[in-house]
Structure 1
Amino acid sequence: MTVTLPRVSIIGLGPGGPDLVTSGTLAEIARVPVRFGRTRRHPAASVLGEASWFDGRYETAATMDEVYRQIADAVVEAACIEGEVLYAVPGAPAVAERTVQLLLAEDRVECTLHSAMSFLECAWTRLGVDPIATSVRVVDGHQFAADAAGERGPLLVCQCDSPLVLSEIKLAVEEWPEEPIVVLQRLGLPDEHVFEVSWADLDRDVAADHLTSIFIPQLASPVGFELQQFEELVRVLRDGCPWDAEQTSLSLRKYLLEECYELLEAIEAYEPETGEGAEEFCEELGDVLFQVFFHARIAAEDGWFTIADVARTVHDKLRARHPHVFDGSPVKDLAELAVNWHAAKASEKQRDSVFDGIPAELPALL
Structure 2
Amino acid sequence: MTDARSPASITVVGLGPGGDDHVTAETLAAIDRIAHRHLRTAIHPSAHLVADAPGGATSHDDLYEQADDFDDVYREITARLVTAADEHGEILYAVPGSPLVLERTVRYLRDACADASIELRILPAMSFLDVAWARLGIDPVEAGVRLIDGHEFTTAAADESGPLLVAHTHANWVLSDIKLAVENATGDERVTILQALGTADEVVVDTTWAELDRTVDADHLTSIYIPQLAAPVGREYVRFHDLVRTLREQCPWDIEQTHDTLIPFLLEETYEVVDALHDLDPDDPASDDDLVEELGDLLFQIEFHATIAEQEGRFTIADVTQGIHEKLVRRHPHVFADTVADDTDTVLTNWDDIKQAEKGRTSIFDGIPRSLPALSYAAKVGRKASKVGFDWPDVSGAFPKVGEETAELAEAMAGDDDAATSAELGDLLFATVNVARHLGIDAELALRAASDKFRTRFEGVERLARERSIDLRDADLATLDALWDDVKASAATAD
TM-score, normalised on structure 1? 0.67
The 1-side partners of 2:227 and 2:445 are apart by 48
Matches within 5 A, 1:61-210: 61-106=67-112, 107-108=115-116, 109-176=118-185, 178-210=188-220
- Give the letter for the 1:204 counterpart: R
Given the alignment of the two structures, is residue 260 of structure 1 paired with residue 256 of structure 2, yes or no?
Answer: no
The Cα of 1:361 is off from its aligned counterpart by 3.9
Residues 8 and 110 in structure 1, CA contact (< 8 A), matched pair in contact too: yes
With over 3 angstroms needed to count, the CA separation of the structure-2 counterparts of 1:32 and 1:81, relative to structure 1, is same
**Cα separation, partners in 2 of 1:16 and 1:285, compared to 1, 3 Å:** closer
Whether the 8 Å contact between 2:17 and 2:127 is mirrored in structure 1 is: yes
Give yes or no for contact 1:183–1:214 (8 Å, CA) kept in 2. yes
Partner Cα distance (2:195, 2:105) in 1: 23
Structure 1 equivalent of residue 229 of structure 2 = 219
- 8 Å contact from structure 2 (residues 170, 219) kept in 1: yes
| Post-superposition CA distance 1:31-72 (Å, at most 9, x none) | 211100101111111111211101111111111111111111
Structure (1 or 2) with the larger CA radius of gyration: 2
The one-letter amino acid of 1:80's match is D
Q: Return 5+ residue gaps in structure 1 as ranges.
A: 232-253, 265-281, 306-357
* Greater relative contact order, per chain length (Cα 8 Å cut-off, separation 6+): 1
Q: For 1:98 and 1:176, how far apart are their aligned partners in 2?
A: 30
- Is 1:29 the equivalent of 2:31? yes
Distance 2:178 2:238 in 1: 12
Q: Is this contact kept in 2: 1:10–1:87, CA < 8 A?
A: yes
Tell me, what secondary structure is at the counterpart of 1:138? strand
Q: CA deviation at 1:258?
A: 5.1
Whole-Å separation in 2 of the counterparts to 1:151 and 1:3: 50
Tell me what 1:286 maps to. Answer: 300
Q: Measure, in 2, the Cα distance between the counterparts of 1:80 and 1:172.
A: 43
Shift, 1:300, TM fit: 5.8
Shift of 1:83: 0.9
Tell me how far 1:5 sits from its aligned partner: 3.5
Task: Structure 2: state its 5+ residue gaps.
Answer: 242-263, 275-295, 306-319, 336-443, 457-495
Which shifted more, 31-40 or 293-302? 293-302
What is the RMSD of the two structures over their aligned residues, measured on CA atoms? 3.4
Matched pairs, number: 274
Question: Which letter maps to 1:154?
Answer: P
Question: Paired residue for 1:5, among 4, 7, 16?
Answer: 7
Is the deviation greater in 282-291 or in 65-74? 282-291
SS at 1:41 equivalent: coil
Deviation at 1:3, TM superposition (A): 6.8
Task: State the Cα deviation string for residues 197-223 of structure 1 (Å, max 9, x = none).
Answer: 111111122210000000000011111
Q: Which residue in 1 is equivalent to 2:446?
A: 360
Classify the secondary structure of the residue corresponding to 2:84: helix
Q: CA separation of 1:56/1:288 partners in 2, compared to 1, >3 Å: closer, same or farther?
A: closer
Identity level (%): 46
Aligned-residue offset at 1:114: 0.1
Shift of 1:302: 3.4
